[in-house]
A = this chain, B = another copy of it.
Amino acid sequence: MLGEINQSLERLSRAEKQVAEWVLAHPRQVTESTVAEVARACATSEPSVIRFCRRMGLSGFRELTIRLTEALSRPDSLVHRDVSAADSTADATVKVVEAAIQSLVDLRSQLSRMPFERVVARMATSQQFVFAGLGASGHVASDASHKFFRLGKPCNALTDTPSIRQFGAIAGSRDVFVLISKNGDAPVLREAARRARDNGAFVIAVTNPGSELAAAASSVFACDSQEDTNIYTPRSSRLVHLAVLDALHVATALALGDFAADNLRRSKDALLVDPGAAGG
Residues in A lying within 8 Å of B, measured CB to CB: 28, 31-32, 65-66, 69-75, 83, 85, 87, 89-90, 92-94, 96-98, 100-101, 104-105, 107-109, 111-112, 114, 116-117, 120, 133-139, 142-143, 146-147, 161, 181-183, 185-189, 228, 231-235, 238-239, 242-243, 246-251, 253-255, 257, 261, 264-265, 268, 271, 275-280
- Kindly report how many copies of this chain are found in the complex they form together: 2
Question: Of the candidates B90, B134, B246, which one forms a contact with A278 in the assembled complex, judged by CB atoms under 8 Å apart?
Answer: B134
Answer whether A97 and B104 are a contact pair too, CB < 8 Å, given A73-B70, A238-B143: yes
Question: Of the candidates B135, B228, B246, which one forms a contact with A234 in the assembled complex, judged by CB atoms under 8 Å apart?
Answer: B246
Question: Of the candidates B101, B105, B231, which one forms a contact with A264 in the assembled complex, judged by CB atoms under 8 Å apart?
Answer: B231
Please, could you name 8 A-B residue pairs with CB atoms under 8 Å apart, sorted by A? A32-B66, A89-B255, A92-B250, A133-B279, A185-B278, A238-B242, A239-B242, A239-B243
Answer whether A98 and B108 are a contact pair too, CB < 8 Å, given A136-B143, A277-B134: yes
Name the distance in Å between A52's Cβ and chain B's nearest Cβ: 20
Alpha-carbon separation in the docked complex, A143 to B245 (Å): 16
